[in-house]
């Protein structure tokens, strides 16, 4: 089956076409901050500067803040009002690392409890992937089993072949969408060859490497090595940047806001890095910073794989780029002792 | 359909909602005196008694604005007469920087007011509340934290 | 100041000696980071680690932030702004003067990589090299060199800096450097002040809509050392935890009021913010308000009382009726 292609100049038309059925999100930059925002109908300048967003696409499915329901107390009890349906989203330009991240955290939201808020958005959304041609020095996706230019986690995959994008149908949803889309041309053998070349070039451009062989076992062996974790955690300032902006982090907090007999229940992003994350009335098991840092590393590379058979990291590099003290997970993992330290 | 209570919604019969942090030893007593002297003054101010004006954290002022109060008064003993010696000096510094900072951000200066009212100044208290209420009436309801897209405040243009 | 080899060598020797002779338990400085041009804090008890210490135009962190976390005596590298933060902590009785050995770095300003990216149109890892000589910075891209005046590339807070060379130190690692005090540093705030008050609040609404409540601004700030921050308080709940612009703005306003008189305009809050909120436009204004109303500058005199515990008989006239 032949792939399609589209000229970069026609992207706006394509997005507007898709905008008839979906709320289309494209990379946009406000005050220098790249994030997915609603397509405004004309601006495709992101094709010039887009590398990756600061805010990961998880924000489209698990928003930084969302209303769960509104409630009002009356004589009979509580009346609950659910939020209106959000509609279908189309995320244009999602990178393979972020698309893989969505697949990784899906497992969590479908586990023992099917999260309706997350899943209703996720199931109705279309992901149109865009291969990287300029990975950042902080990217290490290739070490995490992700290619910067290929993805099985999107519905359509675009590859930059010069003035045009090659469009590959990856999922059934993608096939259906293309079947209803007009204005696309057929790709030639030449285009396919260019795409293959572009993909290889992107792959080779990712220079940061991390060896994850046996990492879960190493972490388990080092769990009680307080000296090691204290050293690792020394320069961390316990903010939430690495977790809130990580595409595979999904922790949230639930709070009610009350005005007399009415209220709203909100869900919002939370971080295991915050000192009060595990605070309970009687104690806080992770009061010390090194315990929180250990938790973050072990959750991603040991505990999540134990539950879901996949490392909760796709090498997007945001945590390294955005950390105020340049704490680097790849350096930390490389320094985990191979053997367990003898317990004191 | 749940009617969502928007206590910040301006109505045509709007009366400002004011909160006054009055120090127990001087200003609260002064307010009491205004009452027993049967002085008439606007009834818009809800009073919160604090042991000293120095107890007023900037958090109180901001929380009052956040909740939708249209104006805030902090009132304490005259400098040099504080029951706890230095509390009102602290209040003076704190309120000064809070007021100036909020004005920089665009909050109307009439919303945050402060006064020295002693236990014998019932008349002054009534005058202060009247002035504050009129000032707040002029700037209108507090829509600072209302849900809208950048309409700003009604603070007067500075010369 | 880029790679001032002499200062670096002196620093490494001093740091090693301090640890060797047991004069300090910990040493805090900067070492090369894992990203191009980046540096990262080095916090160590091991004298051999001191070989990695660096001084260059990218040593951005305010290391005083770590003083309230570390127990014991600490040797610390301090630029002008950092030394003022240390003095401010001494004024607050959080740190004892005899527990810190301050190695002062006469600072000539740090290069803002986001300004570099904006001016060159390139991401930082696409640049070959950045070197500095006198009043100009040379940026090499794809083999081509381009010169820029330093004033275009330094951080705003460096351009505004009044004390680049520490006043309080145990060792000064080089020749004192003069303040830059370039008026362009105040442009953002001046522009804001020219807006009508009603527009200004709208600006902050827009900027704080991006806030995700990561608290990086608070956590990199040396003046924020509370064990339990007001945002973490639930009885009463001062600020709602979710990232609504109203509550984000509440957090910023109160945080700036709480650090008034202890903020030294080190610029870390704005640099650390992952979503580019112009936090310095809040912090610097508070710094100026405090200077104007009470002639107080944070961290200038370790024996002076902190701003909010001191008072004069008569001051701030006209605020109270």
Rounded to a whole number, what is the distance in Å from the CA of C288 to chain A's nearest CA? 25
Is A72 close to B7, i.e. CB distance below 8 A?
Answer: no
Q: pLDDT tens for residues C77-92? A: 999 999 999 999 999 9
**What is the torsional sign of CA A145, A150, A155, A158?**
positive
Q: pLDDT tens for residues C213-249? A: 999 999 999 999 999 999 999 889 999 999 999 999 9
Q: pLDDT tens for residues A142-157? A: 999 999 999 999 999 9
Collect all residues of chain B within an 8 Å Cβ-Cβ radius of residue C201.
Answer: 105-107, 144, 152-153
SS3 of chain A: helix, strand, coil, percent, to 5: 35, 20, 45
Token pair recorded at residue A149 = 């230019």
Is residue B155 pLDDT above 70, yes or no? no
Q: Which residue range is the domain that position B31 belongs to?
A: 18-139
Contact B105/A at CB under 8 A = no
C207 with C240, same domain: the answer is yes
Residue B158 domain-assigned?
no
Predicted confidence at residue A316, as pLDDT, reads 96
**What is the torsional sign of CA A87, A90, A94, A96?**
positive
Is B4 close to A79, i.e. CB distance below 8 A?
Answer: no
C129 with C31, same domain: the answer is no
> Which residues numbered 112-151 in C keep a CB inside 8 Å of some CB on B?
none
Which subunits count as partners of chain C given 3+ CB pairs below 8 Å? A, B
CA C122-C273-C284 angle, 5° bins: 105
Across chain B, mean pLDDT equals 87
Is B5 close to A262, i.e. CB distance below 8 A?
Answer: yes
C277 with C171, same domain: the answer is yes
Q: Which residue range is the domain that position C54 belongs to?
A: 5-112+154-309
Residue C317 domain-assigned?
no
Total count of domains within chain B? 1
Residue of C76, C115, C188, C214 best to disrupt the A interface, most CBs of A under 10 A: C214
C142 with C270, same domain: the answer is no
Which subunits count as partners of chain B given 3+ CB pairs below 8 Å? A, C
Contact A258/C at CB under 8 A = no
What residue of B is the nearest CA neighbor of C200?
A: B106
**C77, C53 contact by CB (below 8 A):** yes
Q: Which residue, C131, C153, C175, sits at the end of a domain?
A: C153
**A319, A309 contact by CB (below 8 A):** no
Q: pLDDT tens for residues C149-172? A: 999 999 999 999 999 999 999 999
Residue C320 domain-assigned?
no
**What is the torsional sign of CA A320, A323, A324, A327?**
negative
Among candidates B2, B5, B7 on the partner chain, residue whose Cβ is nearest the Cβ of A81: B2
Token pair recorded at residue C14 = 């001093």
C-alpha A238: how far from chain center: 21
Is B5 close to A79, i.e. CB distance below 8 A?
Answer: no
Is A31 close to C213, i.e. CB distance below 8 A?
Answer: no
DSSP structure string for A85-120: P---EEEEEE-HHHHHHHHHHHHHHTSSS--HHHHH
The pLDDT of A294-322, averaged and rounded, is 96
Collect all residues of chain B within an 8 Å Cβ-Cβ radius of residue A72.
Answer: 2
Collect all residues of chain A within an 8 Å Cβ-Cβ radius of residue B7.
Answer: 259
Give C51's Cβ-side CA count (13 Å radius): 2
Token pair recorded at residue A69 = 């329901």
Predicted confidence at residue A2, as pLDDT, reads 74
Is residue B58 pLDDT above 50, yes or no? yes
Q: Tell me the pLDDT band of C184, cut-offs 50, 70 and 90.
A: confident
C17 with C131, same domain: the answer is no
Phi then psi for C218, rounded to 5 degrees? Answer: -70, -40
C91 with C32, same domain: the answer is yes
Assembly ipTM: 0.94
Token pair recorded at residue A43 = 């601006």
Angle, helix C245-258 to helix C197-208, in steps of 10 degrees: 100
- CATH code, C124: 3.10.450
Residue B52 domain-assigned?
yes
Delimit the domains of chain A by residue range.
4-205, 215-334
Q: Tell me the pLDDT band of B149, cut-offs 50, 70 and 90.
A: very low
Predicted structure pTM score:
0.93
C84 with C185, same domain: the answer is yes
Q: Which residue, C98, C128, C153, sits at the end of a domain?
A: C153
Total count of domains within chain C? 2
> Which residues numbered 1-30 in B keep a CB inside 8 Å of some CB on A?
1-2, 4-5, 7
- Nearest by Cα to C299 from C289, C311, C287: C287
- Nearest by Cα to C10 from C29, C24, C34: C29
C136 with C275, same domain: the answer is no
Is B114 close to C321, i.e. CB distance below 8 A?
Answer: yes
- CATH code, B64: 3.40.50
Distance, CA of C42 to CA of C63 (rounded, Å): 9
In this predicted model, which residue has the larger pLDDT, C181 or B44? B44
C253 with C288, same domain: the answer is yes
Contact B50/C at CB under 8 A = no
The pLDDT of B35-51, averaged and rounded, is 96
Q: Tell me the pLDDT band of A200, cut-offs 50, 70 and 90.
A: very high
Predicted confidence at residue A101, as pLDDT, reads 97
Q: Which residue, C153, C185, C213, sits at the end of a domain?
A: C153
Rounded to a whole number, what is the distance in Å from the CA of A106 to chain C's nearest CA? 22
Q: pLDDT tens for residues B66-81? A: 999 999 999 999 999 9
Burial state string for C178-193 with b = 16 or more CB within 10 A and e = fewer than 16: eebebeebbeebeebe
Residue B95 domain-assigned?
yes
C118 with C107, same domain: the answer is no
Predicted confidence at residue B153, as pLDDT, reads 44
C166 with C75, same domain: the answer is yes
Phi then psi for A318, rounded to 5 degrees? Answer: -60, -40
Interface of A with B (CB under 8 A): 70, 72, 79, 81, 259-260, 262
Residue C160 domain-assigned?
yes
Q: pLDDT tens for residues C240-265? A: 999 999 999 999 999 999 999 999 99
Residue C315 domain-assigned?
no
Is B155 close to C246, i.e. CB distance below 8 A?
Answer: no
Distance, CA of B83 to CA of B6 (rounded, Å): 40
Distance, CA of A36 to CA of A28 (rounded, Å): 6
Is A275 close to C232, i.e. CB distance below 8 A?
Answer: yes
Q: Which helix (H) or strand (E) holds A230?
A: helix A226-233
Residue B157 domain-assigned?
no
Among candidates C205, C249, C308 on the partner chain, residue whose Cβ is nearest the Cβ of B93: C308
């Amino acid at each position: 089956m032949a792939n399609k292609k589209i000229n970069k100049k026609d992207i706006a038309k394509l997005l507007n076409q898709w905008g008839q059925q979906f709320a289309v999100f494209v990379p946009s930059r406000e005050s220098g901050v790249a994030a997915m925002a609603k397509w405004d109908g004309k601006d495709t300048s992101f094709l010039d500067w887009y590398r990756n967003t600061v805010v990961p696409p998880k924000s489209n499915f698990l928003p930084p803040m969302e209303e769960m329901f509104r409630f009002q107390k009356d004589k009979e009890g509580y009346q609950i009002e659910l939020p209106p349906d959000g509609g279908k989203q189309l995320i244009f330009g999602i990178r393979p690392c972020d698309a893989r991240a969505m697949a990784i955290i899906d497992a969590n939201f479908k586990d023992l409890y099917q999260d309706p808020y997350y899943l209703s958005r996720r199931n109705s959304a279309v992901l149109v992937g865009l291969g990287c041609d300029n990975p950042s020095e902080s990217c290490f996706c290739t070490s995490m089993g992700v290619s910067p230019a290929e993805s099985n986690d999107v519905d359509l995959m675009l590859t930059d072949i010069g003035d045009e994008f090659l469009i590959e149908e990856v999922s059934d949803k993608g096939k259906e969408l293309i079947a209803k889309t007009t204005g696309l041309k057929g790709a030639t053998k030449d285009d396919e060859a260019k795409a293959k070349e572009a993909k290889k070039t992107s792959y080779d451009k990712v220079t940061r490497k991390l060896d994850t062989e046996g990492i879960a076992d190493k972490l388990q062996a080092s769990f009680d090595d307080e000296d090691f974790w204290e050293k690792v955690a020394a320069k961390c300032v316990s903010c939430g940047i690495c977790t809130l902006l990580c595409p595979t982090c999904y922790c949230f907090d639930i709070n009610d806001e009350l005005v007399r007999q009415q209220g709203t229940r909100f869900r919002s992003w939370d971080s295991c890095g915050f000192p009060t994350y595990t605070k309970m009335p009687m104690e806080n098991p992770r009061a010390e910073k090194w315990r929180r840092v250990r938790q973050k590393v072990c959750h991603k590379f040991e505990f999540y794989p134990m539950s879901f058979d996949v490392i909760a990291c796709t090498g997007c590099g945001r945590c390294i780029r955005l950390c105020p003290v340049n704490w680097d997970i790849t350096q930390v993992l490389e320094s985990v002792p191979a053997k367990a330290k003898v317990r004191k | 359909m749940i009617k969502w209570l928007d206590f910040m919604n301006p109505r045509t019969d709007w009366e400002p909602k004011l909160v006054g942090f009055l120090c127990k030893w001087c200003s609260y007593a002064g307010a009491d005196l205004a009452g027993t002297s049967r002085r008439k003054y606007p009834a818009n101010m809800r009073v919160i008694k604090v042991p000293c004006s120095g107890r007023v954290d900037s958090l109180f002022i901001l929380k009052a604005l956040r909740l939708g109060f249209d104006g805030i008064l902090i009132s304490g003993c005259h400098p040099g007469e504080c029951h706890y010696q230095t509390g009102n000096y602290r209040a003076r510094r704190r309120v000064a920087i809070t007021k100036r900072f909020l004005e920089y951000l665009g909050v109307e200066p009439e919303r945050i007011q402060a006064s020295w009212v002693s236990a014998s100044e019932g008349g002054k208290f009534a005058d202060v509340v009247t002035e504050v209420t009129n000032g707040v009436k002029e700037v209108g309801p507090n829509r600072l934290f209302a849900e809208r897209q950048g309409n700003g405040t009604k603070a007067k243009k500075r010369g | 100041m880029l790679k001032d080899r002499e200062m670096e060598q002196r620093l490494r020797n001093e740091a090693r000696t301090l640890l060797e002779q047991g004069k300090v338990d910990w040493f805090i400085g900067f070492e090369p980071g894992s990203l191009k041009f980046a540096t990262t804090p080095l916090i160590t008890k091991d004298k051999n680690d001191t070989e990695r210490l660096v001084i260059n135009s990218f040593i951005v962190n305010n290391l005083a932030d770590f003083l309230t976390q570390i127990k014991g005596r600490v040797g610390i590298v301090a630029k002008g702004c950092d030394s003022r933060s240390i003095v401010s902590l001494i004024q607050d009785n959080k740190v004892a003067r005899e527990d810190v050995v301050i190695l002062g770095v006469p600072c000539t300003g740090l290069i803002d990589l986001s300004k570099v990216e904006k001016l060159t149109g390139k991401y930082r890892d696409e640049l070959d090299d950045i070197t500095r000589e006198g009043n100009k910075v040379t940026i090499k891209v794809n083999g081509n060199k381009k010169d820029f005046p330093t004033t275009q590339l330094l951080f705003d807070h460096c351009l505004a800096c009044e004390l680049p060379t520490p006043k309080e130190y145990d060792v000064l690692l080089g020749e004192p450097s003069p303040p830059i005090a370039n008026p362009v540093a105040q442009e953002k705030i001046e522009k804001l002040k020219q807006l009508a008050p009603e527009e200004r609040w709208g600006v902050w609404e827009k900027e704080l809509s991006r806030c995700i409540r990561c608290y990086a601004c608070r956590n990199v700030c040396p003046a924020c050392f509370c064990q339990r921050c007001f945002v973490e308080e639930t009885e009463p709940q001062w600020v709602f935890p979710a990232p609504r612009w109203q509550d984000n703005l509440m957090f910023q306003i109160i945080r700036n009021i709480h650090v008034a008189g202890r903020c030294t305009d080190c610029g870390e809050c704005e640099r650390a913010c992952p979503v580019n909120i112009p936090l310095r436009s809040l912090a610097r204004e508070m710094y100026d308000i405090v200077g104007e109303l009470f002639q107080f500058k944070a961290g200038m005199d370790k024996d002076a009382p902190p701003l909010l515990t001191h008072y004069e008989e008569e001051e701030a006239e006209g605020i109270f009726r």
